[in-house]
């Protein structure tokens, strides 16, 4: 994965994943419709490992951490991966909103 595209990332400069697919599908911020009104999301399996709370400007994880999240402990809702070896794209989901 090429993480050079990340701009204004609040939890670090990596690839962002939501634990709840609704986060990515609501509104037009993430899954934007194409000319035919179709939207696409990619369902992935992401290895969290040991995670730390992310922060703006984070480009390299501190030693002993594998990913960054929106919380320091507990159940994260947003996961940031800095390595493509921790991400397995499983499905491409195509949908239209009514």
- Domain range holding 83? 3-95
15-18 and 78-81 beta bridge pairing: antiparallel
Which strand (E) or helix (H) includes residue 47? Answer: none
Q: What CATH number does residue 29 fall under?
A: 3.90.228.10
CB 66 within 8 Å of CB 51? yes
How many domains, in total, are found in the chain? 1
User: Tokens representing 3?
Assistant: 């993480």
How far is it, in rounded angstroms, from Cα 44 to Cα 86?
10
Per-residue pLDDT in tens (0 to 9) along the chain, 98 residues: 555 555 558 999 888 999 998 888 887 788 889 999 999 999 999 988 999 999 998 989 999 999 999 998 899 999 999 888 899 999 999 999 87
Which residues, in sequence order, are bridge partners of residue 94? 40
pLDDT for the residue 8: 59
């Amino acid at each position: 994965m090429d993480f050079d595209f990340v701009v204004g990332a609040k939890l670090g400069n990596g690839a962002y994943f939501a634990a709840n697919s609704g986060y990515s599908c609501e509104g037009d911020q993430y899954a934007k419709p194409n000319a035919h009104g179709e939207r696409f999301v990619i369902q992935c399996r992401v290895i969290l490992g040991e995670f730390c709370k992310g922060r703006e400007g984070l480009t390299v994880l501190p030693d002993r951490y594998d990913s960054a999240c929106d919380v320091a402990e507990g159940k994260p809702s947003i996961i940031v991966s800095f390595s493509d070896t921790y991400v397995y794209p499983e499905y491409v989901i195509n949908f239209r909103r009514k």
